[in-house]
Each structure stands twice: as structure tokens, then as C-alpha cells.
Chains A and B, each alone.
Chain A
Amino acid sequence: MTAPTVRQPAGATDAPPPPPFPPDVVEEMLRQLAKTVRTHQLYLPNNPIYQRAIDSLRASFAPIWAHTDTLVVGVGEQEFRWEGLTLAHEASRSESLAWTLYKDGVREITLQPGFEGNELDVLLDILRRIRKALPEEDDLLTLLWEQEFLYLRYRFVDAPVAAAAPIEGPSESCPTSVPPPAEMPSLEESRPGIVRMDDFDSTVYFLDEHEIDYLRDAVQAEYQSDLRRNVLAVVFDIFEVQADAKVRTEILEILQHLMVHLLTTSQFGAVAYLLHEAKEASSRAQGLTAEHADTLRRLSERLSEPAALAEMLRSLDESTQVPPQAELDELFAELRPSTLGIVLGWIGKLQNASVRTVLVKASNRLAAANTAELVRLILSPDEGTALEAIRRAGELKTAAGVAPLGRLLSSPSVQFRQAAAQALSEIGTPGALKALEPAIGDADREVRITALRAVAARGHVAALDAIRSLVRSKNVREADLTEKMAVFEAFGALSGAEGVELLDAMLNGRGFLGRREDTDMRACAAMALGRIGGPEALEALRRGSADKEVLVRNAVNRALREATE
């Protein structure tokens, strides 16, 4: 809570001169400032509540600037001071804005008109950051220094430093006269102190455009380079060059801490580089002790351990920033094959859709490089892991996964059968299609349709008998139109001219007591005939073009067009 203004001078006994204008306007501004800082902690800048607070704060400067163009406010531990008056005293130091400034050394701030513009936003952002800052982070004085405020200046005290010897003035023992310079013997020509103007080409002192560009490019390169990798390269170079055991022990400790730090700050590319160079150093460093070799190996394997990797994936999911795909790919390339299961298991649990997208792509690369592990994971007891492995096997067209995927087609789980059918369909090799054949008769409609479309698309003739049986079966007549179409599409694609007779009979024929196939069946038969094409199929279609049902006639006409194009 902000306490009311104390109208007595702070720490003075004599009556102070009256303030040049009412203190209420200053106090109101300080109150609004404290309120806005709190609001800034709680709401994003685009939040209406924050917007209202900052608008009020900006407006609170106008009455001050009506009286003065320079406002000097002292900063106390729990209060501000102005013209000898204590303003905006807070009972609680932790809530006090003054304390936020005071504890980092600020003792006075001076504001001028114009501050309430952009500079106010900058200051609010600094105050928000400093309130959340850890002790290791930059303090208020550094954050203020980094900005060049035009309308804000501040006076501060800094922590004392160890005794610095004052820089004395001229020594008292210095001479009052010296030999007249004209009489001093000349230094020898060879002495470096002699000026030979020939030594100096005056043009050497001024940079030409090319040289200025060279320096600017170098500075630009400095700020575009990856400093972390640079330092890691330095550290590993030191490790390899310096055979001293103590030095190597120290470096390994540094690397262990550094890896955690890099992970904490989501520097995945640098972590990947660290893991990679740890392997390099392990194979290249001369005179490596067993202990150091083991530490290096553990360093590169540490992140592949389930707990460590799960922690990293959790932090990724909770992070507000999505890591660059390339960095994550690079990191995953350094992980052990056994980590694939952990990563796949996490994909289904991720809350952050953007992170999931980059992780799926990264896991694909990991899976592609570790096919055996991927195949093993298809039959993982962990449902989430197995499902992701099945999907990856399909996306990556992993032929080695056909056998376990085929086995999964007899799984009691519909979800697994669907995923396996889809994966086999994507793999699409003869083996995969062979494995997929039983799925044509699966109990689940999705599985059946997936299988039918796959064999049709790949021209898997071996499935023809099964499909012909299906076309003749009662089941297809009870199926919905989509499934019927899938069945007839597949039959048309695989049977060729041999299938015309059966389809013609279905489209144009009549059965017992002159009954015809139902409309959907006739339309599907027409579609299949169109797919087969050829004179016999066309003839059958032409006969069907006079069908009384519009749906059938449309199907026939469409088939005729497709067959003759």
C-alpha cells in the first residue's frame, strides 16, 4: 500500500521552503508508476488492463510539466522524496518501487518532458525484468546503462571496491629545470626514438573505404558468429593439447556444467556440437586416462539417458520459444539409437503444437538413421511409443518394418490395426501389400478401405481373388457407398477385361424374378467398368446408359467419359 504524503521535511528540523507546486501531482505520478509496474508484471503489454494503466501513467505527467520541465525525485528505501517531502511511502519494502531502485544503488532520478513517451516503456520493461531477475543476471544499473535515455537521468551509488590508490599529482621531486634541449646531444640515428619522417607515410594513418568496409564486415561477422561453438572448440582444443591431468579434470567439470547451462538456455545446436566434439576428443586426445575417457564417454551419453532426455523434452514443451529445426536435428543426430523410443513416446504427450512439429521432423531423422530401433519399437509395450513408431515406419517407408506391422494387423486394438494398415499402405512394397491382404477382410471399415485403396493404387494383383469374392459377397451390399466404391475401384483396377462380365451382369443384368442390383451397386459397377475401359467395358456401359436411376446414369456417363478420354 502506498502511504499518504508525509508533509514534514525528511529529517530536517527547520521548516522547509514551500514546494514550488502541489506535491499531489508528483505523488499521483509516482502512484501510477508503481501501479503500472505491478500491472506490467501481471499482464502482457497488449492487455487492456495494462494499456489503461500506462495511459493513466502517461497522463499523470501532464500536470507536472505544467509547472516544471525538470522533476528531480530522491529515492529512499521505501519512499520517494521531492522538495523535502516524503512521497509514496510503502510499508512493505518488497512491494515498494522505491526499494527496487534503491537496492541496486539508484538514489535520484531526474525526468524531463518527453520521458512519458517511449522512454517510459523502456523503463517499465527494465523494472519488470529487474523484479524477476536472478542474482546472476544484470543489475538495474547495467540495464539502465545499456539504454541511452534522453529524458531520464539518474544518480547512483556503487558498491565499494578494494582500496584504490589515489592517483597522485606531480611528484614533488621533479626537477625545475632540465638541460636546454638545444644543447642535448642528439640521439643516434639508429635509436628508435628518432623521428624519421620517411618512416611515416602519412596516408597510412587514414583508412580508405575498402578498409572501413573490411572492419565493418569483421564486426558484423563477429556478431553473426556462433560464440558458444567457438568457445566449445577452444575448450576441446585445450583439452586435447594439454595432457596435464588436473587441467583435463577441470575442463571436464566445465563441460558438464556447460552442457546443463546450454540445455537450460535452449542452445541445442551448441549441445549437439559439445556431444560431437566429446566423441572426437575421446578418440583423438593423447594420453587420456581411463577416468577421463570414461567421463568423456558419459558426457556424450548423458543426454541419451531416459531421465535427462525426458527432462529436456519437458522443458522444450514448456518453452515459449520453438528451437530451430536444424539445431534439434543436429542434436538428435548425436543421441544414441535407444533414445528414439523416449522421443517417440513424448511426441503424443506434447502440449505445444509448434514444438511437436519440429520434434516429429527431428525424430524422423533419428528414426531414419536407426531403422533397427524403429522396427523394434513398432512392437513396444508402450502404446504411445508403438503408435508413433508405426507412423514413422510408414512415413519413412521402412521396409524392414513390414513383418511387425503385418503382425499388428491381427491386434485386437483397432487403433493399432488402422495405424499398421496405413503404414503398410505408405510403405507400398510387394511385401507390405502382401502383408496388407488380410486387412481387406478386417472387421474395421477404415482398415478395409485403407487396404483396398492401397492394393488398388499399387496394382497388387495378388489381392484380386479376395476382392472378387468381396464383390460377390453379401457384405459389400451391406457396406456404405464409400466402402462399396473402394471395393469396386480396387476390382476395376486389378481385374482388367476379365472383370467385365461380372460387372456387366451387375450393371445391366437381372436376377431371380427379374430383380436388379440396387442403385449403389450398379453405379459402382459402372465406375469399375470405366476404370477397366476397352470395347467390352464400353459396350456394357452404353447398355447401362438408359438406366432409370439418375445416380446410375450419371455414373455410367462419367465412366464413359473417363474410358474414352
Chain B
Amino acid sequence: MSTAAIPGTGAPAGAATTAERGSDAYIRVKGIAFLNAFYGAMRTVKLYPPDNAVVQRALDELVQHTEEFRAHEHELELRTSGEFLFLNHTRLRLDLDNFATFSRIISAFADAGVGSCGVSAGAGKREWTVFLSLFQGVSREDDPDVRRARLIDRLNDAGVRCFELGPPSDADEEFLEKAKEAAKRTYAQSVSVTREVINSLRMGHSPNIKKIKRVVQSIVDQILNEETSLIGLTTLRDYDEYTFTHSVNVCIFSVALGRKIGLTRLQLYDLGVAALMHDIGKARVPLDVLNKPSGLTDDEWRQIAAHPWQGVLALFQMRGQMDIPYRAMVVAFEHHKKIDLTGYPKHIRPREMSIYSRIVSVADAFDAATSRRAYQTTPLSPAAVLQELRANPRRGMDQVVVKAFMSLVGHYPVGTMVVLDSFELAVVHSVNPAPDAVSRPVVRIISDAMGNLVHPGYLADLMQGDPATGTFARTIIKIADPERYGIRISDYFV
């Protein structure tokens, strides 16, 4: 069984929502085991002679995983698509424990000119030995199609016919489209629930935390499966009141950052709930103060600055919970504190700043500075904000967390508009997973050199080379201000 399922929630506004969970869990878990065995065998076959005991053990393991997987799923196809690795149409999750394996397998596929590798019955130790040896021995001088054809010929010559090799493909559009739709549902529902909770508190009611849990579960699932679409939606402007979208954006960035630093699924959930609720105290700040476009009086500033501690009290107001959301309370209280515990609100008792507060602080600062708000009509560019967070110690951010955040969003965060050396305009679609490609994201080309806009445009990996020149096909030369071009960035993410 193999489905390209993307857990998600949601349907049109106001309707009961339906979703499916757990559909690809087997492939994700067993797939990582298969991938590790595949990579382990790749390395040993490259390093040692075939009859070496280490090679034999690695091959035994690979054969065992292959057979087990095929017995359960009836098929096995490993496929690369853009920065993703798919096993039987299910995207495997990248995390701290396996990113190097992912990266090297993707590179090996690209080197061999192979986009997909189906494994049918009969793939024993001998077949794998031959395949892995030839697979890693392909000369890179030729065109990918030539390389792949040569590899297929050599496999046939060796009598190995249980591997079906396909050409490289661009990013899986169908997968991305489904992911985008799921992300839109999750995002809309998250904003809606946040609005419901904050408005409910404003009215003096006790909102139910169960809905919050559900949307955070969806955000965590979405980030674990395909974070790009959801992160792309953080570029949405004027979708709803700033406080609501900002809370959801901070939740998305925090969970994505948490994933980057290796938090478990349940830890991501804890972090997500805390992040979504970090500004809950604003429900107790009068709307006219919250939305005031001009300078604030001292008293108004005091009201705004009260929102972290008001958030703690507001969280005690929530109902439908057996466990008091202590972690969310700590984050609500601390998210405007600096790493040295200065900042606001004032505290008296000795304390240490929670790592979750430090994560949410960075996500909060990034989203706030890149958003248009009542008193900030011109948002800063994502790159400028990153620079400020890193370079200005007065911001008081945890520099390791900032660094991790920068590695999450890259030199050019998702949604940044850039001009390429081809004089095409592009919008950064996703960070390139290759560690040495932070300045070469995957972009969506949105105009040609003459300024003719194309919608929805097309994806281009800036790591891709130009065979004619042996250099990169495209390179970013500068960041552009979308407003100067009259372009709405979020149009390319919805």
C-alpha cells in the first residue's frame, strides 16, 4: 500500500473537517531504516572488497530491509525529487539524525543521472553488490540521460535486471500541490482557531484548549511532512488581523525550527502550543491600543508591555484541560525577555530562560519585523531582519538559536524576492537542503528578463549547473522589494 498522504485538517470555513492520520507512518519509519541500510551498503561497497565481512553484513541488512519492505508494501521505489526523497510516493522526513544520509543519497542519484530506482523481486546480495558498485562508478562527464543509459546497459550485461531506473524529475508537482492545499487548510484553520480563542478571551469567556491542540497537531504533522508550503504561507499579508496570523506564523516558524534542532514530535507539539499562545495576553489589551497606528502614550505602552504577563493570567482562564499549560505560560511570560533576562516583564525570583522561550523570541521577532502592522506599514526584508537578529546584541537573542533559525530559512528566507543574474525575477520557494548551498535556494521564477510576469511561474534549483558553461545556470544578484514591482509574494504560495 502506498499513498501520497499528507496529514492535514480542514475543509471550507465553518464546516466539520475530516482528515486521515497515520497513513504513511509505516513507510516513514521503515523507510528510514531502509535508507540507512542502503547508504551503509553504498559506503561499504565503495570502501571494501565485496567479500569483506563488513560489506557482507551491510548487504545482509539491506536485503533484509528490502524484503521486509516489499513484503509489506508489495513494491519499493526510491525516488528523488528536488530536495525531497520519496519512498513509494511517501516523502521521507529529514531530520538531524539523517540529513547527511539524505544529502549523500540525493547527490549519488544526481551523479548517476538517476531520478528513481525501483527494486523488484530477486534483489539479493549479489545483485545489490553489482548495482551499488556500478551506481557509484558512473562518470559524471556526460549528460544525465547518457549516464543512466550506460548504467542500465552495464547492469544488463551483468545479468542484473531487478532494478528499474528512471530519469531525474523536477519537484513532484502533484505532491507539492497536495501539500500546498493541505497547508492552506491547516493555516486557515489555525488562524480561525486562534481568532476564536483570542476573541473568546476578549469577551471574558473561557476558550477550549482542545481546538488549539488539534491545530498544533496539524501544524506539526505538516512541518514534519513538507514544511515549505506552510512556511510559504507565512508570507501572506492582510489575510486576517495581524495578531492572529502572527501567532500562527510564530507557531509555524517555531515548530520548523524545533524540527531543525531535533525535537521529537511530542516536543514539537509542546513548543507549538506555547508558540501559538505566546501573544494570548494581547486579548487583554484594548483593541484601540493594539491597533493604534501612531505613537503610543506611556500608559498605552504599559498596556502593550503587559501582554506577556497578562498572557499567563489568560492561560489560567482556559478551560477543557486537565493539565494546566505551564510551558505555554512560561513562554508567554518570557518571550520578550532577552537572553540575559533583561527586557520585559520584570521578574523578581531567580530564573533561567526556557529554550522554548528563546525559540519563540526569535520566531516572534522575525515575523513581527517582516510583517506589516498598524504601526509598521513598511515591513523589513527578511534578510535585513536576520542580519539584525544576528548582528545586534541589544536584541538579546540566543545566538545559537538565531544561527539555527538562519540555517532554517537560509540567506534568503522563503518569500524573499530576488533578481537573478539572468535578470529574471524570482521568489525564494525553499531552502536548498545541501549544506553548502545556503545562498542557492530553490526559487520560483516569476518573470523573464523583459519583465513579463509568468504565473504561477516555475521552480528552479539555483544549484543546477549549466552544462554549456560548467557554471551555475542562475545566481542571485540582489534582493528586490516586491512593492516596487507591485507584486504580492503570497500569490505564489497560495
Chain A interface residues toward B at CB < 8 A? 69-70, 107, 110, 112-114, 134-139, 141-142, 144-146, 148-171, 174-184, 186-187, 192-195, 197, 199-200, 202, 204-207, 211-212, 214-216, 218-219, 221-223, 225, 227-228, 230-231, 233-238, 240-242, 247, 250-251, 254, 257-258, 261, 277
| A161 engages B192 (CB within 8 Å) | yes
In-complex Cβ contact of A180 among B16, B261, B450 (8 A): B450
| B1 engages A70 (CB within 8 Å) | yes
Task: List, in ascending order, chain A residues with CB within 8 A of B72's CB.
Answer: 69, 112-114
Task: List, in ascending order, chain B residues with CB within 8 A of A167's CB.
Answer: 184, 187-188, 233, 236, 239, 494
| A238 engages B345 (CB within 8 Å) | yes
- Nearest CB of B to A142, in Å: 6
In-complex Cβ contact of B451 among A180, A211, A214, A236 (8 A): A180
| B312 engages A231 (CB within 8 Å) | yes
| A136 engages B320 (CB within 8 Å) | yes
B452 at the interface (CB under 8 A from A): yes
B104 at the interface (CB under 8 A from A): no
> Contacts A162-B195, A175-B486 hold; do A142 and B316 have CB atoms under 8 A apart?
no
B150 at the interface (CB under 8 A from A): no
Complex CA–CA separation, A23 to B352 (angstroms) = 60
| B480 engages A184 (CB within 8 Å) | yes
Task: List, in ascending order, chain A residues with CB within 8 A of B394's CB.
Answer: none
B436-463 interface with A by 8 A CB criterion: 436, 438-439, 447, 449-453, 455-456
| A153 engages B25 (CB within 8 Å) | yes
In-complex Cβ contact of A135 among B19, B320, B435, B478 (8 A): B320
| B351 engages A164 (CB within 8 Å) | no
B263 at the interface (CB under 8 A from A): yes
Task: List, in ascending order, chain A residues with CB within 8 A of B233's CB.
Answer: 167
Task: List, in ascending order, chain B residues with CB within 8 A of A195's CB.
Answer: 383, 411-412, 476-479
Query: In the complex, which residue of chain A has the Cβ closest to the Cβ of B436?
Result: A202
Interface segment out of the listed B41-49, B288-296, B419-427: B419-427
| Residue of B30, B262, B451 contacting most chain A CB atoms (<10 Å) | B451
Complex CA–CA separation, A241 to B455 (angstroms) = 55
B363 at the interface (CB under 8 A from A): no
Lowest 5 A-B CB distances belong to which pairs? A192-B384, A164-B192, A153-B22, A170-B491, A218-B355
B257-272 interface with A by 8 A CB criterion: 261-263, 265-267, 269
| A150 engages B455 (CB within 8 Å) | no
| B403 engages A145 (CB within 8 Å) | no
Interface segment out of the listed B81-89, B116-124, B324-332: B324-332
B173-216 interface with A by 8 A CB criterion: 184, 187-189, 191-193, 195-196, 210-211, 213-214
Task: List, in ascending order, chain B residues with CB within 8 A of A161's CB.
Answer: 14, 17, 189, 192-193, 196, 211
Task: List, in ascending order, chain A residues with CB within 8 A of B345's CB.
Answer: 237-238, 241
Task: List, in ascending order, chain B residues with CB within 8 A of A207's CB.
Answer: 261, 400, 403-404, 407
In-complex Cβ contact of B453 among A148, A155, A176, A197 (8 A): A176
| B452 engages A176 (CB within 8 Å) | yes
In-complex Cβ contact of A157 among B17, B380, B401 (8 A): B17
B206-235 interface with A by 8 A CB criterion: 210-211, 213-214, 217, 233
| B240 engages A231 (CB within 8 Å) | no
> Contacts A161-B193, A193-B481, A234-B312 hold; do A154 and B1 have CB atoms under 8 A apart?
no
| Residue of A178, A187, A261 contacting most chain B CB atoms (<10 Å) | A178
B45-61 interface with A by 8 A CB criterion: none
| B312 engages A166 (CB within 8 Å) | no
Task: List, in ascending order, chain B residues with CB within 8 A of A151's CB.
Answer: 26
> Contacts A137-B322, A175-B486 hold; do A162 and B14 have CB atoms under 8 A apart?
yes
| A205 engages B452 (CB within 8 Å) | no
> Contacts A195-B478, A230-B326, A240-B348 hold; do A156 and B18 have CB atoms under 8 A apart?
yes
> Contacts A135-B320, A153-B25, A202-B438 hold; do A235 and B312 have CB atoms under 8 A apart?
yes
Extra contacts besides A154-B21, A171-B491, A181-B447 (15): CB < 8 Å? A114-B72, A138-B322, A170-B455, A170-B456, A174-B487, A180-B451, A181-B425, A184-B485, A195-B412, A200-B439, A202-B436, A205-B411, A207-B404, A215-B404, A236-B349
B357-397 interface with A by 8 A CB criterion: 358, 380-381, 383-384, 387, 390-391
B251 at the interface (CB under 8 A from A): no
| B19 engages A152 (CB within 8 Å) | no
In-complex Cβ contact of B22 among A149, A183, A187, A194 (8 A): A149
B160 at the interface (CB under 8 A from A): no
> Contacts A157-B17, A177-B451 hold; do A215 and B400 have CB atoms under 8 A apart?
yes
Query: In the complex, which residue of chain B has the Cβ closest to the Cβ of A240?
Result: B348
B406 at the interface (CB under 8 A from A): yes
Task: List, in ascending order, chain B residues with CB within 8 A of A186's CB.
Answer: 478
| A139 engages B210 (CB within 8 Å) | yes
Task: List, in ascending order, chain B residues with CB within 8 A of A223's CB.
Answer: 267
- Nearest CB of A to B214, in Å: 6
Task: List, in ascending order, chain B residues with CB within 8 A of A235's CB.
Answer: 312
- Nearest CB of A to B265, in Å: 7
B126 at the interface (CB under 8 A from A): no
| B309 engages A242 (CB within 8 Å) | yes
| A261 engages B20 (CB within 8 Å) | no
Interface size class of B (residues with CB under 8 A): 35 or more
Query: In the complex, which residue of chain B has the Cβ closest to the Cβ of A169?
Result: B494
Task: List, in ascending order, chain B residues with CB within 8 A of A221's CB.
Answer: 352, 355
Q: What is the 8 Å Cβ interface bit string for chain B, positions 1-33, against chain A (1 contact, 0 not)?
A: 100000001101111111111110110011000
| A177 engages B346 (CB within 8 Å) | no
| A180 engages B217 (CB within 8 Å) | no
Query: In the complex, which residue of chain A has the Cβ closest to the Cβ of B426?
Result: A181
Task: List, in ascending order, chain B residues with CB within 8 A of A175's CB.
Answer: 453, 485-487
> Contacts A156-B19, A186-B478 hold; do A192 and B26 have CB atoms under 8 A apart?
no
B319 at the interface (CB under 8 A from A): yes
Query: In the complex, which residue of chain A has the Cβ closest to the Cβ of B20?
Result: A155
Complex CA–CA separation, A169 to B239 (angstroms) = 12
Complex CA–CA separation, A271 to B12 (angstroms) = 46
> Contacts A145-B21, A237-B348 hold; do A163 and B192 have CB atoms under 8 A apart?
yes
| Residue of B13, B390, B407 contacting most chain A CB atoms (<10 Å) | B13
| B188 engages A181 (CB within 8 Å) | no
Complex CA–CA separation, A163 to B189 (angstroms) = 9
Task: List, in ascending order, chain B residues with CB within 8 A of A162's CB.
Answer: 14, 192-193, 195-196
| B381 engages A142 (CB within 8 Å) | no
- Nearest CB of A to B167, in Å: 31
B415 at the interface (CB under 8 A from A): no
B105 at the interface (CB under 8 A from A): no
- Nearest CB of B to A446, in Å: 53
Query: In the complex, which residue of chain B has the Cβ closest to the Cβ of A148?
Result: B25
Task: List, in ascending order, chain B residues with CB within 8 A of A149's CB.
Answer: 22, 25
| A155 engages B19 (CB within 8 Å) | yes
| A179 engages B349 (CB within 8 Å) | no
Query: In the complex, which residue of chain B has the Cβ closest to the Cβ of A197?
Result: B439
Q: What is the 8 Å Cβ interface bit string for chain B, positions 93-111, against chain A (1 contact, 0 not)?
A: 0001000000000000000
- Nearest CB of A to B221, in Å: 8
Task: List, in ascending order, chain A residues with CB within 8 A of B407's CB.
Answer: 205-207
In-complex Cβ contact of A158 among B19, B191, B410 (8 A): B19
Complex CA–CA separation, A215 to B402 (angstroms) = 12
Complex CA–CA separation, A23 to B480 (angstroms) = 64
Query: In the complex, which residue of chain B has the Cβ closest to the Cβ of A164?
Result: B192
Task: List, in ascending order, chain B residues with CB within 8 A of A171's CB.
Answer: 488, 491
Complex CA–CA separation, A205 to B309 (angstroms) = 33
Complex CA–CA separation, A152 to B1 (angstroms) = 13
- Nearest CB of B to A9, in Å: 22
> Contacts A176-B452, A227-B326, A238-B313 hold; do A204 and B406 have CB atoms under 8 A apart?
yes
B354 at the interface (CB under 8 A from A): yes
Task: List, in ascending order, chain B residues with CB within 8 A of A165's CB.
Answer: 13, 188, 192, 239-240
| A158 engages B16 (CB within 8 Å) | yes
Query: In the complex, which residue of chain B has the Cβ closest to the Cβ of A215?
Result: B261
Task: List, in ascending order, chain B residues with CB within 8 A of A214's CB.
Answer: 400
Task: List, in ascending order, chain B residues with CB within 8 A of A164's CB.
Answer: 10, 13-14, 188-189, 191-192
Query: In the complex, which residue of chain A has the Cβ closest to the Cβ of B407?
Result: A205
